[in-house]
Structure 1
């Protein structure tokens, strides 16, 4: 956990889950992926506020992958703005056999634009797969590089089951804040709800993966939104 806290961005768009995935803990050597992740708040004072993240990733081995990201936001009635650019790396440790638990570490450096802080982010990635079931948990720490702010803590989690092979999956996702290293817990922002995932194979040299869902707001997130709509589209191929 100490490594997680040291390897950690406070995003300009702070609502948990907007433009964020739940990362798995396994990699496939030689796989390139281009992904667009979109989240939009619904209802409340922040209705129609959204975030769009673009990411390009390449797995150099079954252990190591690196990626570049661009994060954008848009306020209702305003033009879309680029808030940050980032580089990230994932190192997969492999599986803890007795638990069938895959473990990986994620590190990201985010360069803030438009007055946003530079940030370090770290994630402990956990994944358990058993038959049709896939469960994931990301434990996250974020630390701004200027100022005396404590490390912000959050999580992302998912559980889904295959309905038609691995081409169609149905499940739930949750994203939430956990406080900070100075003040853990309390009434925090949380979004949770159903998602559906689909794979479209044999599109050129690769396949398209689509994830869509609607997450309800809980805790302090209800102060400014009823929920958030999510859409993630990625194209993956061997390179």
Structure 2
């Protein structure tokens, strides 16, 4: 029987992405996810959770107005962050998962990886909702409950609470978001990380094409979801106009003089 692991990022997550296996994992993610990312030109981009590995493979992010990363206080790692001598190290901060240190309506794109499955989920989504602009994009990369990666603790995707597609849609709705587009990534199992880079990337693309035909994204290792703010989700439902209450006809009768 599968059991849930402790909801914290493993202490060697940064070290994992610094290895060949971790770099290949990030490459496979980038192949599937980056073509879906919104245009960051002139926009403010935040990588939330542990998103530096995917952001560093996003060339267009250099055109952003501002780009940085934020890790949760439960994700302090022993190893230095990816790109420790680059811009992500200089623009990295540590924060709680339910109170982000950003002004309301200040972020245009939030890329969340190794975040939602490791935190207080609804509180994190509400805090993200507040910090995002009304036309902003939330990019989620989270482990798939029915995929192999969620049940192997040899990678960071094997920790925390994975999601089925319906669970993720429900959670986003509770967090006042709506799913705009969803797909899968990491179609090969973790042992395939032993393959050469070119072989693994080719096989992952082929496995993704076959997997989508057979089972949608149920066989993918992770969900990749693009979500937008649901601006009207927090408003109370409109009440039907109250019907006019019938008023009895009153006639004043005068007595004859």
TM-score, normalising length from structure 2? Answer: 0.30
Q: Could you say which structure has the larger radius of gyration?
A: 2
TM-score, normalising length from structure 1? Answer: 0.32
More strand per residue: 1
More helix per residue: 2
